[in-house]
Structure 1
Amino acid sequence: MNMRVKRMTGILIGFLTILLLGDPRFQSSLADKILPASRSLAAGASTIAGCLAPAKARTAFPGSSEYQSARTVFNLRYKYAPAAFVFPTTVAQVQNAVGCAEQLGIGISPRGGGHSYEDYSLGRGRDGVIVVDMTGFTDISYNKAAGTVTVGSGFRLGPLKLALWNLGKVTVPCGVCPSVGVGGHALGGGWGFVSRKFGILSDSIVEAQVVIANGTTVRANAIENVNLLWSLKGAGANSYGIVSQFTFKVHDVSATMTHFSYTFLKSQQAQTVKAFQIWGQVAVAEVTTSLYLDPSGGNNFYGIYMGPSANLNAVLKAFMDNVPAPSNQTVIETDYITTVLIDGGFSQNADPSVLNLHSFTYPTATFKAKSIIVKAPGFSGDGIKTFVNSLQAGPATSYFIFDLFGGSASVINQIAPGDSAWVHRDALFSIQMFTYWQNNPSQSSSDITFIDNLWSAVRPYASSEAYQNYIDQDMPLSAYYGSNLNRLISEKKIWDSNNVFNFPQSIPVR
């Protein structure tokens, strides 16, 4: 089990406003987003129920046991109170929910896996919204001749990877956590352990079926609504509509693969960071890796090589030449679905059917997360020293994961920043910064201060960008969308001029 999953399993399953408020353009957009929240309080349950009733979707309202169960959240730091949950199984039912939100002036939030780091999928930063739970959308159709798969947006990554493996030993490039929903993951990027070879998940979107603000359904592809597709590929999480269906390009993963993990000492953390970024610039596309570090001494380099283990030493040479001998190592030559099991926190000998999550405990935690994008050639010597010293002074209940995005061979970086909404095309790696405090609320203030201070300390050595799938309410929109932001705002005016789809960090209409 790699350190990312080991730590997340332990945490989860047992588990500034800087530029945003300083820019008048975003001050006005925030006002747009606050007003619907207050209006929603005026719409009673009976009014909402009456509006939703004609579609005959299953619903849950405050006071019912189903409502309380549906309020299960990923980040226990928040506990938003929706006005209602809707569980559609047809596009017409989604259209009805959108129409009711527009008619009653209520916020609306689609939910797939419910893994939003700020729990925007539960309340979009406020109480009183209609949550449209898309988990009923799990149809799948594989077109072998076209090399595509069409899937409902309610799929989670584990079941999706297993289904694709069984259909033809193919996959889509996406993350390791099996319970993450494909919808939000794809619309915010979607990095995983075959991404340097195949791109991020949003790069594989061929078509999306979208319920837009006027309650109609449109298709966005290379011929129809091209600009909407552009926006969805990196900025589509509840800013332009509710995606009910994706068509993805699939990728062959039938060949032998090698899963590897190398452990180093706490005293060697600075050396592994330096080696990681030197090697990352020249690594072949067939390898994608992460580096896990924590204040207690965690120091683990791991990933997948799309090839036989006999070639691994040559593939990792530029890394190993710059670090001491590892204190422990595991190299497993196997097939793709076994690497999915390992990275998903399961035994490599487990029956792959566990990826269907029938007996899976969905993760929760109480945490604060941030991220930062680091560009080539990586941190300077002072930057590495600052990062490691700051990290080692932190609480044991925190960790940091460097995910390798770039390098000269990476497919991710061979796409121009303006070719899709996902702008981070010159990233070398992203750092996920995570601190949690379980059942000790008194620890929250110091932990949040620690993670904020560490981010600020390394910012001079990195970039102003951050990864939108690790959403952080303290970050300005420019960190997530960069030079694409103005175009995204223009598209928002076209598709949702009344700002029906909104939350504190959605694309504004002005």
Structure 2
Amino acid sequence: MTTSSRRHFVAGTFTVGAAGLLGTGMSAAPAAAARTRARPGPGGTSGSTDITPGDPRYEELATRGRNKRFTARPKAFRVATTTEEVVRAVGEAARSGRRVAVRSGGHCYENFVGDPAVRLVIDLGEMNAVAYDPRMRAVMVESGARLMDVYRRLHDAWGVTLPGGASATVGIGGHVAGGGYGALSRRFGVAADHVYAVEVVVADAAGRARAVVATREPGDPHRDLWWAHTGGGGGNFGVVTRYWFRSPGAVGDDPATLLPRPPAEILSSAVIYPREGMTRAAMRRLVGNFGRWHERHSGPGSPYAGLYGGLVLLSRLRERESGQSAVSFTHVDAGLPNAERLLQRYVAAVTEGVGVTPYVPGTARLPWLTATTQLAESQDTEKGRQKIKSAYLRRSLTGRQIDTLFTHLDSADHSSEAASVSLQSYGGRINTVPSSDTATAHRDAVVNVIFMNTWQDPKADAENIGWLRRMYRDVFATTGGVPVPGRDGADGCYINYPDLDMADPSWNTSGVPWHHLYYKDNYARLRRIKSVWDPGQVFGHDLGVRPV
């Protein structure tokens, strides 16, 4: 763990997990203005021409992705600044038979953008406008906007937000298409639950491209396309250029009333467990406490719906550098009745009987945006070569599973000082939405688990990837090495953390296909939508939705 990471732990914000609008004069005019204006791309172009090898801009675009295991080197990049430019790019590629990939924030954990089969990468980073659209009576956000910028603009302009993830630089395009959850999701659902409409550039069988706006209105003939982008994952059906957000049930045309209002203040707390005394039995108690608490307190009517907690388990190499074996962090809406007492009860429940004397830095009361910014800064310290796996849980990990985590975290068969397993709060309002209402199918889980390793040396790829694979396989050994939905308390995987091992019979021996882990029973409908909207299979990747 870096010195910066340790400082964030002490400050009370911790690793989890995936600008003022009015003051800057940003337009609140109809979204058509955002669609037609031309913003200059890198080097002064408007994004209408290919950027090919030899162009001084190409190398920066090739290495822009966050996971440094992968470098995208397509035949060309196209930096789009308007929907019309995306339409032209998709049409040209479709007619010439070129495979297309799209990138907004560049946070993909697998090599979908850098796949050699991809010949054109459309980069949406310059499409980052946030504005109120009075015709839609919804807030329009372009797909290249980064999460923290979106949160800040929504907050400063109208005092509202979206219940999305923590990383500041994740692009909203792929994040929302995969569902998108974070610290406010137990209270407000996933980000995709608040999508009213989506603009998608698609191509027909003849290679003709067009932009389609699909809404959640029952009578919309394009409604299936909207549904597919509420958890169906990015890169499957077309290029999302814009979302419009308005919460279900919201009425009127005041943007300050159309989306959730975040807490005014957050109580931020931490409990830091030292390496000394963290035995196998102690970890079993700690992780079991966390899971059992969430089993009891993840109903939508729970007084703890405004509480978001995480438990980060650190590997031995990371412990040596930091002196810590685990960190429990909590964010609570400070405006809840008895908020401090709720926080104290939660901390007591998680620490009860662990038998390790923790360090408790204290509780900080922070403005919501400040707490959210610090949470993002903490998460974004981990940079380099990465491998990630995920699991939804309907109940606590078992004693055997926790012992397995202890064994692997305590091992020395990898070289990373940034290896961890992070358990995070889920459930609450998320689980009130029927699984078929959106493409986000995981509506029964109470905890999400992130298995993550980050390292720097390319020569260490095999040992670090292998260590994470073995730990994950052994944790879910009774279900074929993967968290099969409905078996032994598991509920599948999160598509925004794609993992090709789920489609590899060497690591998935369950007999359950990868798509059931990510989409459960929603996959059949996604396949039908794929057949209608991408008949030429212009878009796709190794975990992409397959047509019927």
Q: TM-score, normalised by structure 2?
A: 0.76
Q: Gaps spanning 5+ residues in structure 2: where?
A: 1-7, 18-44, 247-258, 298-303, 320-324, 485-491, 503-513
The residue correspondences of 1:24-103 to structure 2 (distance < 5 A) are 57-72=48-63, 73-103=65-95
**Contact kept in structure 2, 1:81 and 1:127, CA below 8 Å:** no
Distance change >3 Å, CA 450–CA 82, structure 1 → 2? same
Partner of 1:205: 195
SS in structure 2 of the partner of residue 208 of structure 1: strand
Shift in Å, 1:480? 0.8
Structure 1 residue 240 corresponds to structure 2 residue 237: yes
Task: List gaps (5 residues or longer) in structure 1.
Answer: 10-53, 348-360
Offset of 1:473 from its aligned partner? Answer: 1.5
Instruction: Give the counterpart letter for 1:477 in structure 2.
Output: H
Residue of structure 1 in register with 2:497 after alignment = 470
- Would you say the 8 A contact 1:213–1:496 is kept in 2? yes
User: Which of 214, 218, 243 is the equivalent residue of 1:220?
Assistant: 214
Identify the residue that residue 295 of structure 1 maps to in structure 2.
Answer: 315
1:331 is matched by which residue type in structure 2? T
Equivalent pair of 2:163/2:191 in contact (CA under 8 Å): yes
Alignment of 1:324-335 (within 5 A): 324=355, 326-335=358-367
| Aligned: 1:273 with 2:294 | no
Q: Is contact 2:432–2:443 with CA below 8 Å preserved after alignment? A: yes
CA-atom RMSD, angstroms? 2.7
Cross-structure match for 1:387: 405
For 2:120 and 2:407, locate their aligned partners in 1 and report how far apart those are by CA, in whole Å.
45
1:154 and 2:154 aligned: no
* Residue deviations 1:225-255 (CA, integer Å, cap 9, x gap): 2211111111140111111111123210153
Deviations 1:53-83 (A, max 9, x none): x996253111112000111122221223111
Partner of 1:310: 340
* Percent identity (aligned): 25
8 Å contact kept, 2:284–2:399 = no
Partner of 2:543: 505
The separation in 1 between residues aligned to 2:129 and 2:71, in whole angstroms, is 31
Matching residue's letter, 1:368: K
Aligned position for 1:457 = 474
Match for residue 375 of structure 1 among 390, 394, 404: 394
Quote the Cα distance in structure 2 between the aligned partners of 1:85 and 1:155: 19
Q: Which residue of 1 aligns with 2:435?
A: 417
Aligned residues between the structures = 446
Q: CA deviation at 1:101?
A: 1.4
- String of CA shifts for 1:344-386, please: whole Å, max 9, x gaps: 2279xxxxxxxxxxxxx9974112221222222x212222222
Whether the 8 Å CA contact 1:179–1:362 is kept in 2: the answer is no
SS of residue in 2 equivalent to 1:167: helix
Native 8 Å contact 2:176 2:192 kept in 1: yes
Q: Deviations over 1:72-124 (max 9, x none)?
A: 1222212231111111111111001110111111111111000000142x33x
Alignment-mate amino acid for residue 57 of structure 1: S
Taking the aligned partners of 1:507 and 1:165, their CA distance within structure 2 comes to 35
CA apart distance, 1:331: 1.3
Distance 1:369 1:498, change over 3 A: same
Residues 454 and 502 of structure 1: is their aligned pair in 2 closer, same or farther, counting only changes over 3 Å?
same
Q: Are the equivalent residues in 1 in contact too, given 2:87–2:210 (CA < 8 A)?
A: yes
Q: Secondary structure of the residue that 1:129 maps to in structure 2?
A: strand
Contact kept, 8 Å, 1:375 with 1:463, in 2: the verdict is: no
- Partner Cα distance (1:217, 1:362) in 2: 37
Q: Partner letter of residue 371 of structure 1?
A: S
What is the rounded CA distance, in whole Å, between the counterparts of 2:274 and 2:68 in structure 1? 32
CA distance in structure 2 between the partners assigned to 1:362 and 1:256 by the alignment: 24
Mapped partners of 2:166, 2:461: distance in 1 = 27
Equivalence for 2:459: 442
Q: Deviations over 1:305-359 (max 9, x none)?
A: 1125533214544334454553233311121101112102279xxxxxxxxxxxx
Give the C-alpha shift of residue 206 in structure 1. Answer: 1.3
Contact 2:101 2:122 in 1 (8 A): yes
Residues in 2 aligned to 1:405 and 1:383: alpha-carbon distance in whole angstroms: 19
Distance 1:493 1:286, change over 3 A: same
- The answer for the alignment partner of 1:19 in structure 2 is none
> For 1:451-471, what per-residue CA distance to the aligned partner results, in whole angstroms no more than 9, with x for missing partners?
111111111377321111111
Q: Deviations over 1:235-291 (max 9, x none)?
A: 140111111111123210153321222112340432221111011123321011211
User: Does the 8 Å contact 2:79/2:123 carry over to 1?
Assistant: yes
DSSP 3-state at the match of 2:500: coil
**CA contact under 8 A between 2:47 and 2:78: conserved in structure 1?**
no
Partner of 1:339: 371
Give the Cα separation in 2 of the matches to 1:451 and 1:187. Answer: 27
- How far apart, CA to CA, are the structure 2 residues paired with 1:110 and 1:229? 18
Aligned position for 2:426: 405
Any conservation in 2 of the 1:422–1:481 contact (CA below 8 Å)?
yes
- C-alpha distance in 2 between matches for 1:138 and 1:300: 35
User: What corresponds to 1:50 in structure 2?
Assistant: none
User: Alignment partner of 2:526: what SS?
Assistant: helix
Q: Secondary structure at the match of 1:85?
A: strand
**Equivalent-residue separation in structure 2 for 1:2 and 1:497 (angstroms):** 49
Structure 1 residue 171 corresponds to structure 2 residue 161: yes
| Residues 102/146 of structure 1: CA separation in 2 closer, same or farther (3 Å cut) | closer
Indicate conservation of the 8 Å contact 1:74/1:119, yes or no: no
Scaled by the length of structure 1, what TM-score is found?
0.81
Contact 2:408/2:471 (<8 A) preserved: yes
> Which residue of structure 1 aligns with residue 531 of structure 2?
493
C-alpha separation between the residues in 2 aligned to 1:203 and 1:88? 27
Cα distance in 1 between the residues matched to 2:13 and 2:142: 26
Q: Aligned in 2, Cα 1:81/1:184: closer, same or farther, shift over 3 Å?
A: same
The residue that corresponds to 1:429 in the other structure is 447
**Structure 1 partner of 2:519:** 481
Summarize deviations over 1:190-239 as a string: whole Å, max 9, x none. 11111111111111211111111231111111222221111111114011
Aligned-pair distance for 1:166? Answer: 0.6
The CA deviation at 1:429 is 1.5
1:74/1:363 contact within 8 Å kept: no
SS across alignment from 1:281: helix
Change (3 A) 1:5 1:488: farther
Write the deviation string for residues 162-188 of structure 1: whole angstroms up to 9, x where unpaired.
111111221101111101101111111
- With over 3 angstroms needed to count, the CA separation of the structure-2 counterparts of 1:302 and 1:8, relative to structure 1, is closer
Change (3 A) 1:159 1:92: same
Structure that is richer in helix per residue: 1
For the residue of structure 2 that corresponds to 1:126, the secondary structure is coil
